[in-house]
Each structure stands twice: as C-alpha cells, then as structure tokens.
Chains A and B, each alone.
Chain A
Amino acid sequence: NAGVTQTPKFQVLKTGQSMTLQCAQDMNHNSMYWYRQDPGMGLRLIYYSASEGTTDKGEVPNGYNVSRLNKREFSLRLESAAPSQTSVYFCASSDRDRVFQEQFFGPGTRLTVL
C-alpha cells in the first residue's frame, strides 16, 4: 500500500500561472481533503470531498478549485497563482464508514509562487 501519494513534491510558479496538484489514495477511503500549511499557522482546510462527485469548501477556499475525479483521486487547481498561495499543500484521506475517522496524510507539495 502506497497510502496517500501527491505529485509534484516541489513546484515553482510565476504569478498568474496555473497548475494542478494531484492526490491519490489506495486505501479505498470515501473522504479526501486538501490542507495548506503556512509558517506559524498550522494546517488549514481548503476543500474536502465526502464521496465521489461531492466537494465542499473548507476554511480557506478562495483561489482554488477541486475535482474528485473518482474514489481514488482528488486534485487541487490554482487557476491564477498568487504569491499568497506560496505554501506546503497536504492531501489526506479517511474512511467515513468507520466510527472513528483517522485522517492519513500524503507527503506534501511545496509550492512557491514568485
């Protein structure tokens, strides 16, 4: 089991460029999440998806779009990158059919917007 995988690991963009962060999980989990981590601020939820075909906004959704392509994959898109989106992005997944929903995290993507 690879768990939760993310691509790319690092990315540098110029202001205004677009890109998509990819996330996949092989644990047959229903729920998937995107977080961003900024220095001194902990992790903040951007978007989440409770099941294939559904997505909901989290705490900081502005400037992002998501797609739950299928049960395994959940992508995060920046349409027009801004320096304020420089951050480390984490994808996570959990099994909402369990009584207790531990979230499993990917290794993160470090994004720099110049």
Chain B
Amino acid sequence: AQTVTQSQPEMSVQEAETVTLSCTYDTSESNYYLFWYKQPPSRQMILVIRQEAYKQQNATENRFSVNFQKAAKSFSLKISDSQLGDTAMYFCAFMKHANDEKLTFGTGTRLTIIP
C-alpha cells in the first residue's frame, strides 16, 4: 500500500515571501502521479499542481512549483511571492497509475500567510 507523509502540520510565512511544503511518499510503483491540493476555509478542494513520475522536469504553475526527487521519494511544493489568498490547508496526494482511480492523501499542512 502507498503512504503519503506530510511532516509539517502547520506553517506560517510573511506575505510576499517564499515557502516550501514537504511531502514524502512510499511506493514500489515506477510510474505514478503526484498532486498538491489546496483547501481554503471554504472547504473546496482545488488542484494546485500535478507531476507525472516519468517526467524529469519539475512542474510549474505560475507562483507554484514542485521539487520532485524520485529516488528520494520526495515531492515538495514551493509557493513564491505568497499572497493572503494562499492561506489554506495543503494536501499532497498520490495516484498509483492513470487507471487506478484512487488518491491517497497525506494529513495536510495548514499554511497561514501573515500580512
């Protein structure tokens, strides 16, 4: 079974600064998918960024980027120029392969952006 670990229950950072959220996972699969989901106070789960394990290039979406280290089974999220609207719970998630259809989530990191 796959496991996803987020070792930082809470983090805070000043507005406009850069913050990195950590995620490690355990799997014997070679081709899989990794995700970061954001859950603001409204509770709505929103996909932030995704990474396919077979791609060496780290995914980037505007101010959000990942550092994917396949050998180390690490998948961290970097938020640059943080904004107040980034305040949320962030969940790392794993999908075994494209047809597996099941997401395994980490326990989340509560991120607070301080004005």
Q: In the bound complex, do residue A43 and residue B44 qualify as a contact, i.e. CB atoms below 8 Å apart?
A: no
Q: In the bound complex, do residue B91 and residue A50 qualify as a contact, i.e. CB atoms below 8 Å apart?
A: no
- Contact count A vs B, C-beta below 8 Å: 48
Complex Cα distance, B8 from A20, in Å, reads 35
Residues of A with C-beta under 8 A to B52: 100
The interface size of chain A toward B, counting residues with CB under 8 Å, comes to 24
Complex Cα distance, B43 from A96, in Å, reads 25
Q: In the bound complex, do residue A96 and residue B99 qualify as a contact, i.e. CB atoms below 8 Å apart?
A: yes
Residues of A with C-beta under 8 A to B45: 43, 90, 92, 105
Residues of B with C-beta under 8 A to A42: 4, 91, 105-108
Q: In the bound complex, do residue B102 and residue A100 qualify as a contact, i.e. CB atoms below 8 Å apart?
A: no
Q: In the bound complex, do residue A100 and residue B101 qualify as a contact, i.e. CB atoms below 8 Å apart?
A: no
Question: B-facing mask of A82-114, CB < 8 A → 1, else 0?
Answer: 000000101010101001111101011000000
Residues of B within 8 A of A (CB): 4, 9, 33, 42-47, 50, 52, 91, 95, 98-99, 101-103, 105-108
